[in-house]
Structure 1
Amino acid sequence: MKLERLISIIYKLLNHEVLSASMLAEEFQVSQRTIYRDIDVICAAGFPVVSYQGIKGGYGMMDGYKMDRSLLGSYDVDSLITVLSSLSSVFEDERVKGTIERLQTIGPEYEAPSLSVDLATHRIGPDVLPLLRTAIIQRNVIRFDYINGQNERTTRGMEPLRLHFKYSNWYVYGYCRTRKDYREFKLSRMMNVFLSQDIFQPHQEVPPMAGDSYSAWQDQVEDVVIRVRAEALAEVMDQFHHADKHFDPDGSMTMRIPVYKPLEARWLWAILLSFGSGAEVLEPSALRGILREQLRNTLNLYEEV
């Protein structure tokens, strides 16, 4: 614990002009006398700590003293800080924050970040990600209720192995004790997540997640063609940016979107219906029929009694 505190103090002094003993004592939950002794140890180790007197006095590193930057270039450091900062904001991990602070000592000085990453978590509860990460690190079995793609509710027991972020959503992958096989679960559909005291053994061989191989399902991909009115271009492009696009003379756009089993893709139906009259499905004709039926069912909900 003392060694970790000494290392942390060194990096804090490298990242700040002056830090008072009282500030350091409060942060590390020790007495100011302990901080004084820590500073003496740091000085004895060869670090050029300077003491500043006065109301705004404290401790800092000698001007011009920096850690060796030869290990990583500024681009590498910036990239690492960006990724770690996004993870730190999601998981509230103090160890990650400490790593960021250490990296900043070898990064470029007085330079604003050129990149930021927002790993959105608004679709899930604020405590779910940290809880799952704890379960993965400690190898705790988790239990939860889940709503699958067929809108069925089940209760699961799982040995979580990996968290991953794709298609603007968080997923957890691991061994489902209920189904006795490896499964992937979407965090936004998980409820009542509970970390049990049951510990599972490390997994030596883990099969790849479903969908990792494009060749496994590419023969079931079908093009969906939609016409987008000029007033809905921005909204539709936000959803289907990588689609093949063609502007029409009247200012509208025709999009061709490859979709896996579009006649079963309820997520696609919801997106297309959200555009209202701004987008019309041209192909496949069966999808037009599905959307027509969905609209009829919705209108029936709002029929005056």
Structure 2
Amino acid sequence: MKINRLFEILYLLLEKKTITAKELAEHFEVSVRTIYRDIDILSSAGIPVYFQRGKSGGIKLMDNYVINKSLLSQNEQNEILYALQSLNATNYPNNNKTLSKLNAIFNKKSDNWIKIDFSRYNCDDNTLFEKIKEAILTKQTVKFNYFNTKGEHSERIADPLNLWFKERAWYLFAYCHKKSDIRQFKITRIKNLILTDKHFEKSVENFKINDKKDKIKNVKIIVEIDKSQAYRVYDEFSEENINKMENGNFEIVMEYPENEWVYGYLLSFGEHLKIKEPERIKKILFEKIEKMKKNYK
């Protein structure tokens, strides 16, 4: 307890610059005499703490004092602060206190270099991420309801290993008790997650985690997209995959896993996209359009 109190006294001095013994005693619920002894210990340890008398006096640290941090270079300190700022930008919960402490310890305040707005995606609720983070760090088995790509519902019990962000979405990689294997769960399809009282010993190093998307054979698709869709073309495709045609339209060469998602993505361009090859996908989209037309008769 004393070690923790000494460290927090030092942090408070770094943050507030000046504080009275009475204020510290009330904060830690100890006597003023105990605080004086703590200050003596800090002083004998080589920390330049001193008492200043007068109206605005109190316990102070010498100006420009910072905790010895020789294990971290200036660049490493900046990288830590920048990483915490990037978490703040994503509305990551309970991060400001950590960032404030490290700013004080490093005696610097780095520029806030990043801003991310998730408001249109309705991402205000971080409860699920907090639960998953806790489960991963404490190695607690979780239980949840899951909906697959076909809308089928199942109850899962799993040992969570890590979170991945890939292709604009978050995924949980976990050892699924039902499948007795590693499985990938899209976060938006996880419902009613709870932490159980069971713990596990597995770690991510015990498994070779591969994104299942990488195992699906990609199909090469060549399309022509109308010039009116230039804003989407340059937003959604790499420059090396874009060929500007003489008529002003775009020829796009893309490779995707062939599934319902890619059919829906191609159809999202409506009348502005034409499949050039393969012929098979052209027929699949034609059949889907015919079925769609029946909904509007």
TM-score after normalising by structure 1: 0.74
Q: 1:70 & 1:132 partners in 2: Cα distance?
A: 34
Identity of aligned residues (%): 24
- Shifted more, 156-165 versus 201-210: the winner is 201-210
Q: 2:268 & 2:86 partners in 1: Cα distance?
A: 30
Deviations 1:77-125 (A, max 9, x none): 222222233446655346x843663266437x46524456789985695
Contact 2:85 2:114 (C-alpha < 8 Å) held by counterparts: no
Mapping of 1:197-216 within 5 angstroms?
197-203=197-203, 206-211=206-211
Please tell me the residue identity of whatever aligns with 1:294. Answer: K
Please tell me the residue identity of whatever aligns with 2:177. Answer: R
Runs of 5+ in structure 2 lacking a partner? none
Runs of 5+ in structure 1 lacking a partner? none
Mapping of 1:156-175 within 5 angstroms?
156-175=156-175
Quick check: which has more Rg, 1 or 2? 2
Please tell me the residue identity of whatever aligns with 1:18. Answer: K
Aligned-CA RMSD value: 4.0
Q: 1:292 & 1:21 partners in 2: Cα distance?
A: 78
Q: 1:235 aligns with which of 232, 236, 245?
A: 232
TM-score after normalising by structure 2: 0.76
Distance 1:238 1:11, change over 3 A: farther
Deviations 1:238-283 (A, max 9, x none): 33347612223444322211212x2x2x222333333334444333
The Cα shift of 1:155 comes to 1.0
Q: Secondary structure at the match of 2:209?
A: coil
Distance 1:300 1:74, change over 3 A: farther
Q: 2:184 & 2:228 partners in 1: Cα distance?
A: 38
Is 1:155 the equivalent of 2:155? yes
Mapping of 1:63-212 within 5 angstroms?
63-68=63-68, 70-87=70-87, 91-93=92-94, 97-98=97-98, 101-102=101-102, 105-106=105-106, 109=108, 111-114=110-113, 122=122, 125-203=125-203, 206-211=206-211
Contact 1:236 1:275 (C-alpha < 8 Å) held by counterparts: no
Q: 2:73 & 2:185 partners in 1: Cα distance?
A: 38
Q: 1:84 & 1:225 partners in 2: Cα distance?
A: 42
Q: 1:276 & 1:60 partners in 2: Cα distance?
A: 69
